[in-house]
A and B are shown apart, each in its own frame.
Chain A
């Protein structure tokens, strides 16, 4: 008997269930890449057999953070950069949930970069979508961690002197076990990659190129794009760490030369997700911890029985 009967329920799921009636229409600007993330996620969830009430979507702050307002599920619109620590604890508390975290490039690669590295390292079984538009949009157009070198903005009036963050290389070095890049302009691939990322048993990082037509007018619309899996030039084994590293480096460099390379870049074989690793050490219960609080017959250990004798 579970207290969470939405989890694992067998039924047909329609993608329209993921549209909240209280707020069906997003307020993103016309032409914004964020629409594509929302659409791909709504399509992916029925395909992986997940219904709104078994999904926890944790978002950060920014245009991207509004995803949880426009996607019907259990949503947690957290604080800037902190979606990952909230999301990973939720997964530990109830591994039956489908946990997705999402935020922008400032959120994930800037203010929350430390959490990004450590969540990747720990390999929690969840999906992390980074809306990468190379700009701060909600605060009206400041240089972001992925803005190209030389990028001019109100806060970098003479152009950024900083090299941009390499999101996929950072992810690989940190320990993510699934890494892909897709683009808003390629909805078919985006949906497929999200399905793979959600199904992946471990930390799946999707760098999602989302053009910002309002604040990043100089930047490309991320067209034309090349799917590295479909192009003969890129013949690398996504399960080979060294080949993947080289392909990522290449894709990250060429993005700033106007060439958009998308697709699957890395998938680690034979790596257990964090909850299974932790269970193997004996430091995590085999049953979902959250269930215990709703089980009236559960037995609860007492300090008096287990601990006081060592003090007498």
Chain B
């Protein structure tokens, strides 16, 4: 796909993986199943939803999940949404159409003066505003009795919204045939009956994961709840979609994709400190590195975490670390050290809503400026933000390649949304050769030919080397490679130097590497930026990171509604993809920049990098901790072009202004 006369946007990888569904005769929201399971933290909502999603995948459907959980130890309303369709799914969709409400078994007792209301019923009540018209609602009548139901006004709401309500005593079924905690399984059985699903996929998952009495109990409960739900007279039309896969699918999260990309890039060292939501990547790496012959270190703080990764990398190992906002702030100093010493390292930053502790389990994209600019001095780092699981895997690998070929730090910036959401990816996507190449580093043979001072000290930081500014490393223990590495400005052999001419030459050399990287990326066959929609469209949507596929879904629906819209999802943040974004913005009359923060950080970056387009750029912002739904982007877009006033809900439209 290309814009204007210059084919700057190259074949987007998006098309290759069969995830581009193109224009739709029937909007996906109307034909997808959007199933939500709600309960308390600690009730097994997450694992049940994963099994549910996997069963749908095995039945031939494409799946996308969205996790919502509180920052709380036990209890607290949590839900997972699973959207399934015969076509690849790109976002959580708008609202949802099937609620399985289990009740919160760790709920606190209601108290008049306490800020929380009846927590036990929240997994039911808090979904009333999101459940779509005509939706299906199953609740556990063993948890909420008729008195509760009257009190929350379910009947009135159901009548007004045309919901189809099915009370099932899931608790009793679970207690009778197993233990109360197994009411998850009962809920899945009831769901299967009401949606006309084949239970064999669930049985297969139960048999694969459990054994003995527990397995038997779960199988019985699944069947009993299924039979119980069949007794109802079905008043709803919603059924599970039909689908078949042309090739085997894998259900992976963004965190899986990042970790697997790192392992396939030859990363064999990680150091970290736990922090939500980065902990997922750290955990996946730590669980797998021993089998991959690598090392994982959980250390005292994030300063140490980043420093260990630098130490391992300096000693010849491909290494990574990472954190979320507050922990990443502690990495500022070692990040600058990696830039100054030209030590390659890959850091990942999993954004959550800030500032400070913020909303620890909710998503946001407000760490952009923090990650681009933190640490003193002029930055020489590479930053990309993948849009989905495919890009997360690809870009993690690419960042390792760039970090180690150019000897600088590279940062993968993602968020709670991408890290936690799962989607179906063709298993063959991961069938790649690993890339353990250590990059710009010399062997002892090569060192014997390299430039040294008279005493035999390697000129690791020479300023008269390659045009792209890259000097290859040597590694401690190599003969002929000794030199000093320092966070001070240094001369060729690494000793401290305050000479003004040397200073200029070193700064320029470090920055030249960024220019070389941009040139190399621009010349590659595939771009990290992904375009979507008709190239001749007059209106643009510009976004970055994990919003990308939600925006693309909105683009398809907007075109179906008669608008002429296309979108560009940007991943490269430093060095910025000037040519691609410039071409995109030149090709449209107006552009709406979609991002999850309150201060339009990406729009600001774009204006700073391109130095123009200010009046053309409006912003659509969301910062309530929840990701955009495609419908919100449609509303925001239409409100902007039709000037109908501010859109409703927790989104904010900021019209364009000067540069």
A14, chain B: closest CB distance, angstroms: 14
Known contacts A74-B476, A74-B482, A298-B436; 20 additional CB pairs below 8 A are: A3-B444, A4-B444, A4-B475, A4-B479, A22-B457, A54-B477, A74-B481, A76-B311, A77-B486, A77-B488, A82-B304, A88-B311, A89-B307, A89-B309, A90-B312, A92-B312, A93-B312, A97-B476, A301-B293, A306-B292
B492, chain A: closest CB distance, angstroms: 9
Q: Which residues does chain B contribute within 8 Å of A303, judged by CB atoms? A: 260, 263-264, 430
Q: Known interface pairs A89-B311, A90-B314. Does A73 touch B482 (Cβ–Cβ under 8 Å)?
A: yes
Q: Known interface pairs A21-B453, A290-B317. Does A90 touch B485 (Cβ–Cβ under 8 Å)?
A: no
Chain B residues 276-305 with CB under 8 Å of chain A are 288-297, 299-301, 303-305
Alpha-carbon distance between A77 and B496 when the two chains are bound, in angstroms: 10
Q: Which residues does chain A contribute within 8 Å of B176, judged by CB atoms? A: none
Q: Known interface pairs A5-B444, A312-B427. Does A302 touch B477 (Cβ–Cβ under 8 Å)?
A: no
Partner of A311, one of B250, B297, B319, B454: B250
Segment at the A interface, from B109-117, B230-238, B265-273: B265-273
B417, chain A: closest CB distance, angstroms: 19
B455 near A22: Cβ-Cβ < 8 Å: yes
B322, chain A: closest CB distance, angstroms: 15
B477 near A290: Cβ-Cβ < 8 Å: yes
B431 at interface by CB-CB < 8 Å: yes
A6 near B478: Cβ-Cβ < 8 Å: yes
B284, chain A: closest CB distance, angstroms: 9
**What are 5 contact pairs spanning A and B, CB under 8 A?**
A21-B455, A53-B481, A85-B311, A284-B295, A293-B438
Alpha-carbon distance between A192 and B457 when the two chains are bound, in angstroms: 29
Q: Which residues does chain B contribute within 8 Å of A75, judged by CB atoms? A: 482-486, 494
B334 at interface by CB-CB < 8 Å: yes
Closest to B271 in A: A89
Closest to B318 in A: A293
B301 near A289: Cβ-Cβ < 8 Å: no
A53 near B434: Cβ-Cβ < 8 Å: no
Closest to B494 in A: A75
Partner of A4, one of B308, B317, B478: B478
B444 near A78: Cβ-Cβ < 8 Å: no
B81, chain A: closest CB distance, angstroms: 19
B493 at interface by CB-CB < 8 Å: yes
Closest to A89 in B: B311
Chain A residues 279-312 with CB under 8 Å of chain B are 282-285, 289-290, 292-294, 298, 300-304, 306-308, 311-312
A312 near B249: Cβ-Cβ < 8 Å: yes
Closest to B257 in A: A303
Partner of B482, one of A52, A78, A282, A300: A52
Would you list the 10 A-B pairs with minimal beta carbon distance, nearest first?
A89-B311, A4-B477, A21-B455, A85-B307, A290-B316, A77-B486, A86-B311, A93-B315, A311-B250, A303-B260
A302 near B432: Cβ-Cβ < 8 Å: yes
Alpha-carbon distance between A289 and B290 when the two chains are bound, in angstroms: 12
Partner of A289, one of B268, B299, B430, B486: B268
Alpha-carbon distance between A298 and B476 when the two chains are bound, in angstroms: 20
B477 near A21: Cβ-Cβ < 8 Å: no
Q: Which residues does chain A contribute within 8 Å of B431, judged by CB atoms? A: 304
Closest to A83 in B: B307
Q: Known interface pairs A74-B476, A89-B310. Does A94 touch B434 (Cβ–Cβ under 8 Å)?
A: no
Q: Known interface pairs A93-B317, A289-B268, A302-B264. Does A283 touch B295 (Cβ–Cβ under 8 Å)?
A: yes
Chain A residues 126-177 with CB under 8 Å of chain B are none
Closest to A52 in B: B482
What total of chain A residues lie within 8 Å of the partner, measured CB to CB? 64
Q: Known interface pairs A75-B494, A77-B485, A306-B288. Does A118 touch B299 (Cβ–Cβ under 8 Å)?
A: yes
Alpha-carbon distance between A311 and B304 when the two chains are bound, in angstroms: 33
A214 at interface by CB-CB < 8 Å: no
B455 near A20: Cβ-Cβ < 8 Å: yes
A7 near B477: Cβ-Cβ < 8 Å: yes
Max chain B CB contacts within 10 Å: which of A53, A55, A72, A118? A53
Partner of B454, one of A21, A69, A79, A93: A21
B479 near A5: Cβ-Cβ < 8 Å: yes
A56 near B315: Cβ-Cβ < 8 Å: yes
Q: Which residues does chain A contribute within 8 Å of B453, judged by CB atoms? A: 21-22
Max chain A CB contacts within 10 Å: which of B288, B316, B455? B316
Q: Which residues does chain B contribute within 8 Å of A110, judged by CB atoms? A: none
Q: Which residues does chain A contribute within 8 Å of B288, judged by CB atoms? A: 306-307
B560, chain A: closest CB distance, angstroms: 33
A235 at interface by CB-CB < 8 Å: no
A4, chain B: closest CB distance, angstroms: 3
B269 near A89: Cβ-Cβ < 8 Å: yes
Alpha-carbon distance between A7 and B444 when the two chains are bound, in angstroms: 12
A243 at interface by CB-CB < 8 Å: no
Q: Which residues does chain A contribute within 8 Å of B493, judged by CB atoms? A: 22
B7, chain A: closest CB distance, angstroms: 32
Chain A residues 99-141 with CB under 8 Å of chain B are 114-115, 117-118
Alpha-carbon distance between A39 and B101 when the two chains are bound, in angstroms: 73
Q: Which residues does chain A contribute within 8 Å of B481, judged by CB atoms? A: 53, 74
What total of chain B residues lie within 8 Å of the partner, measured CB to CB? 77
Alpha-carbon distance between A61 and B340 when the two chains are bound, in angstroms: 15
- Residues 5-21 of A, flagged 1 when their CB comes within 8 A of B and 0 if not, give 11101000000000011
Partner of A93, one of B300, B311, B434: B311
Alpha-carbon distance between A96 and B475 when the two chains are bound, in angstroms: 13
A87 at interface by CB-CB < 8 Å: yes
A307 near B475: Cβ-Cβ < 8 Å: no
B455 near A82: Cβ-Cβ < 8 Å: no
- Residues 219-240 of A, flagged 1 when their CB comes within 8 A of B and 0 if not, give 0000000000000000000000
Max chain A CB contacts within 10 Å: which of B269, B297, B305, B493? B297
Chain A residues 243-282 with CB under 8 Å of chain B are 278, 282
Alpha-carbon distance between A259 and B307 when the two chains are bound, in angstroms: 38
Q: Known interface pairs A22-B457, A94-B476, A283-B290. Does A86 touch B314 (Cβ–Cβ under 8 Å)?
A: yes
Alpha-carbon distance between A95 and B630 when the two chains are bound, in angstroms: 53
Alpha-carbon distance between A115 and B334 when the two chains are bound, in angstroms: 14
A5, chain B: closest CB distance, angstroms: 5
A47 at interface by CB-CB < 8 Å: no
Alpha-carbon distance between A118 and B300 when the two chains are bound, in angstroms: 7
Q: Which residues does chain B contribute within 8 Å of A7, judged by CB atoms? A: 477
B337 at interface by CB-CB < 8 Å: yes
B297 near A89: Cβ-Cβ < 8 Å: yes
A72 near B482: Cβ-Cβ < 8 Å: yes
Partner of B477, one of A6, A20, A88, A282: A6
A312 near B300: Cβ-Cβ < 8 Å: no
Partner of B427, one of A6, A73, A302, A308: A308
B478 near A302: Cβ-Cβ < 8 Å: no
Partner of A22, one of B289, B305, B476, B495: B495
Closest to A76 in B: B485
B455 near A290: Cβ-Cβ < 8 Å: no
B46, chain A: closest CB distance, angstroms: 15
A68 at interface by CB-CB < 8 Å: yes
B332, chain A: closest CB distance, angstroms: 11
Q: Which residues does chain B contribute within 8 Å of A301, judged by CB atoms? A: 263, 291-293, 434
Q: Which residues does chain A contribute within 8 Å of B162, judged by CB atoms? A: none
Max chain B CB contacts within 10 Å: which of A5, A89, A304? A89
A300 near B436: Cβ-Cβ < 8 Å: yes
Max chain A CB contacts within 10 Å: which of B251, B269, B455, B478? B478
B545, chain A: closest CB distance, angstroms: 23
Q: Known interface pairs A282-B290, A302-B434. Does A77 touch B484 (Cβ–Cβ under 8 Å)?
A: yes
B260 near A53: Cβ-Cβ < 8 Å: no
B21 at interface by CB-CB < 8 Å: no
